[in-house]
Amino acid sequence: MPEHAHIVTSFEDELRSLDNRIAEMGGLAERLVDQSFEALDKRDTRLAELAIASDLAIDRHEREVESQAIAMIGRRQPMALDLRHITTAIKVAGDLERVGDLAKNIAKRALAVANEPRPKQLMGGIGHMTEIAQRQLKDVLDAYAMRDAEKAEAVWRNDGLIDALYNSLFRELLTYMMEDPRNIGLCTHLLFAAKNLERIGDHATNIAETTYFLVTGAQLAEDRPKGDTTSSTAITDRTSS
Amino acid sequence: MVAASDASVLNGSGAKTLTGPGAHSGKISARDVNVFYGENQALKSVNVGIPERSVMAFIGPSGCGKSTFLRCINRMNDTIAGCRVTGKITLDNEDIYDSKLDVVQLRARVGMVFQKPNPFPKSIFDNIAYGPRIHGLAQSKTDLEGIVTASLKKAGLWDEVKDRLKEQGTGLSGGQQQRLCIARAIAVGPEVILMDEPCSALDPIATARIEELIDDLRKNFTIVIVTHSMQQAARVSQHTAFFHLGSLVEKGETQQIFMAPTDKRTQDYITGRIG
């Protein structure tokens, strides 16, 4: 059911402007993830520099969302849906800012590995993770914009896929490093890039939880099954099996 | 019914003498309450339980029936010609519309504070002493002084007026007058205090004092407050009921009503949308 308009039209305008800013931030974050991976994959240092610079715009948007939201709470004393609208905007902007940071970090690693070889299979794995992280990000931003709790919940449940890919990439990278210590530099950077993509997926699920709360007023209570087991994986010389 | 024969009742220690049966269920319960003003139906089948020793807020647009319902709880509507109430309202499981019930006694148990402070044109002392005198609650002058002092302390007014009890109540500031009226309501040892927009004529500081007082009073009294300020309802109450066009649309814990109301009409009202 569509929401009725506010009696106070300037409040309505402010809420819309908050949404527009989040949408813009989302678009920038998506593009940044895209550019960072491409810079890493193609060893394109110019694109990496561009990606690093564009993170500044996301940071600026986040600060503006925050100050706008706080001013609205102070001036309007919002209730119910409006209160959820404004407080969740702060949270979503925070998550998108982190997505920007993580993507920027991948771009920095693209600079670090610019002169390293390009193992096709590994890059394919990271490419696949990037695609899924991007899809999660896109879907959750759509869910947020459309106030679609079902779609948000679907994103939330899908996070396991990125975690599984990360686990298998982790093992693969360990194997490369064990095979030849000269791979360690490259593989460590790629491992961090993969971890960053996995964290981007986590921020997408955070936004999914926030969206669910925005729409329904209830929390997604149950614990999401955690798929990243690398933090408890022992590294022995048998890991390569 | 009310054995408020000494001031200890007001000090909390004697509070159990004010507690009737069903202390832990709803203090007040309304079932299928309809109110008519002549041909006009002002309330339509209201059902609600009001928990003891907590604050319940009634919110809703003007003319929604919230004040009408409030005034049913101490039968203030009896005084309006052509007003008819059907259904059942109980206080501690006693039907307050029972023909054998003494309405004066009921109003001692269910006190009321109005929008505009309305102290009697008497001294501060006599404003408070008036109720206990006519209800015969004080055996002696000392008793009466005890009740006056305790009531003023409970209403958070004592320190400001203790040296001028002989002065006119009407000479106090608006916020002080309202606290005087609350002290006057407390003086007869009520169990329930009804407040009909008690802060709408007060400035923000005086309003904050009353809200602080309400929060304090709920330890000993069941409070029902009608307010047009949603923020005030959210601040002072534990439960909130939303009235619209004579119906009770939604009731629940205050946090739920203001964070995630379930009814669209509630949402539209509290967020200021055109319904």
> Which residue on chain A is closest to B230 by alpha carbon?
A79
Residue B259 touches chain A, beta carbons under 8 Å: yes
pLDDT of residue A237: 55
Mean pLDDT score across all residues of chain B: 89
In chain B, which residues have their Cβ closer than 8 Å to the Cβ of A8?
272
For the residues A63-92, what does the mean pLDDT come to?
96
Any A CB within 8 A of B219 CB: no
| Distance between CA atoms of residues B44 and B249, nearest Å | 10
Least confident stretch, A120-124, A151-155, B233-237: A120-124
3-class state of residue A3 by DSSP? coil
Instruction: Kindly report the nearest CA distance between residue A60 and chain B, in angstroms.
Output: 29
When pLDDT is cut at 50, 70 and 90, the band that residue A4 belongs to is: confident
Mean pLDDT, rounded, for A160-189: 93
Reported CATH class of domain A9-232: mainly alpha
pLDDT digits (tens, 9 = 90+) for B49-71: 999 999 999 999 999 999 999 99
B267 contacts in A (CB within 8 Å)?
Answer: 80-81
Q: What is the CATH number of domain B7-270?
A: 3.40.50.300
Q: How far is CA B147 from CA B9, B40, B171, B193, B194, in A?
A: 9, 43, 22, 17, 20
Chain A residue nearest residue B254, CA to CA = A80
Q: 3-class SS at B58?
A: strand
Mean of all residue pLDDT scores within chain A: 92
Residue of A nearest to B266 (CA): A80
What are the residues whose beta carbons fall under 8 Å from the beta carbon of A102, sequence distance 6 or more? A196, A197, A199, A200, A203
pLDDT digits (tens, 9 = 90+) for B216-269: 999 999 999 999 999 999 999 999 999 999 999 999 999 999 999 999 999 999
Report the half-sphere exposure of B262 (CA within 13 A, side-chain side).
10
Q: What is the pLDDT of residue B168?
A: 96
pTM of the complete model: 0.83
**DSSP alpha helix (H) spans, B124-245:** 124-134, 141-154, 158-161, 174-187, 204-217, 230-236
Q: How confident is the model at residue A120 (pLDDT cuts 50, 70, 90)?
A: confident
Q: Mind telling me how many Å the CA of A160 is from chain B's nearest CA?
A: 30
Q: Domain residue spans in chain A?
A: 9-232
Within A217-238, residue ranges assigned H as helices are none
pLDDT value, residue A229: 75
Which class for A239: exposed (0-12), middle (13-18), buried (19 or more C-beta within 10 A)?
Answer: middle
Are the Cβ atoms of B273 and A4 closer than 8 angstroms?
yes
HSE, CB side, 13 Å, CA atoms: give it for residue B258.
Answer: 21
- Best of A1, A11, A79 to disrupt the B interface (most B CBs within 10 Å) is A79
Per DSSP, A135 falls in state H
- The mean per-residue pLDDT over the stretch B127-133 comes to 95
- For residue B6, pLDDT over 90 is answered with no
Residue B178, C-beta contacts closer than 8 angstroms, at least 6 positions apart: B113, B117, B198, B199, B201, B202, B206, B210
Residues in chain B: 275
pLDDT at B33 over 90: yes
Q: Give the pLDDT band (50/70/90) at residue B5.
A: very low
